[in-house]
Structure 1
Amino acid sequence: MRKGKESGKVPAANILASAPSERNLGAFQEFGCRTTHCNLEVLQDSTLVFLATKPHILPGVLQEIRPAVGSHHVIVSLAAGITLSALQQLLPARTKVLRLMPNLPCVVQAGAMVFARGDSAGDQEATLLKSLLSSCGLCEEVPESYINIHTGLSGSGVAYVYLFAEALAEGAVKMGMPGPLASRIAAQTLLGAAKMMLETGEHPAKLRGDVCTPGGTTIHALHQLEKGALRATVMSAVEAATNRAHEMGYK
């Protein structure tokens, strides 16, 4: 919502944010959005409603707003682990519900988001959500079963990339490059590699092969990564995070 406002998709005057304390509303107020401490006021004044609470808080919020939810509302939940089935049980019958899972880089308009629609949400609601969120990065509609995988791949995956970036920079520091410069170059290296994947549509194995020359520096370095089981370790990390997301889910 914040970046959507910056990109001009949503006028600030059209955004009404609710939170228990002023501390949670500061960012919205800085952008000129309207704020309140009353969740029901949001329902009375808005059609598209985002629920961005901790999972254990959401059932209480849904119980509070349930009497005000009507057929014109589109409810979008960002709460991790709470399934569409659970959301639909806690809201009036035939409520248009979607479940969204973003990741941290949404704050710099380079996020990766997936969403799934509930039984009563149609193409119109899905198109609206995807259009609004396009200002925050990549947004894809998926089966709900993919949402936990997205958490393991991209939600938690951001941390894997930071760890790899840190290791890249530390390798350069070991060889004599100043730390700040090494960190900037590591970040740009990751950015450039990601951009090539997205813009060329090539499989990463093809792009990796393009960097390698017979007997060159890259193939020697890749041999070390393979000996360290980097590929298998990363696959196991995605699996572990996906399984944990499933364990934490509300049925």
Structure 2
Amino acid sequence: MDRLRGIEYFVSAAELGSISAAADALGVSPPAVSKLLAALESRLRIPLFTRTRRGIVLTRDGEGYLARCRKILEDIESAEAALTIPAQSPRGTLVVGVPPNLATYCIAPALHRFRGRFPEIIIHLRRAYRDSDLAAQGLDVLLALAWLGKDDLIASRLAQTRFLICAAPAYWAKAGTPQVPADLATHDCLVYRIPERPCLISGRSLEAKSAPPSNSGPRPYATSKAGSSLLH
């Protein structure tokens, strides 16, 4: 027999004091309720009801069984209700791997809005790069400035960036202003480069003169601002 259904039928019949009333409440026929209650008593080997002309009355054993059955049904309802909470209000801890520059300029300013929308999610930011091992670092998600190129991860593009050619006025006055991408080959360039990706301008690879590439934003910016080179 279906134990859970038997408990539901038993509780309904006990609370309403009538098999017919229980059948109406459950949307089934009275014989269906009677049959399941009889099977329940047979399995337990204990009479749960005393049948009278006016209806049914719980035995002493039936009263004790009713209290426990009510608790079982309440626990089931509570468990099912708890499962719907995450879908309505996400909660928990999210460990996000992110490069330092991206964390400083993009993620940190957006955290306030994120917390306002998802107050029950705790964000932990950890320094990580595109070649980071998510499992080894305990990361739930990785924000990278490039496609990961890993078959075991699911990647989605969140946004696009663009690179600009910048320099201090003092540098332009000293070295002149490039007119076409090829002119950059004669300039001292501090190139912000994502590891393992070429620096492209108009679809062509750019080889900077003298200055090595960098993947750290603030230091090249400070050097370029001082007028010693242009920044790409």
Higher share of residues assigned helix: 1
TM-score under structure 2 length normalisation: 0.25
> Highest Rg: 1 or 2?
2
- Higher relative contact order, chain-length normalized (CA < 8 Å, sep 6+): 1
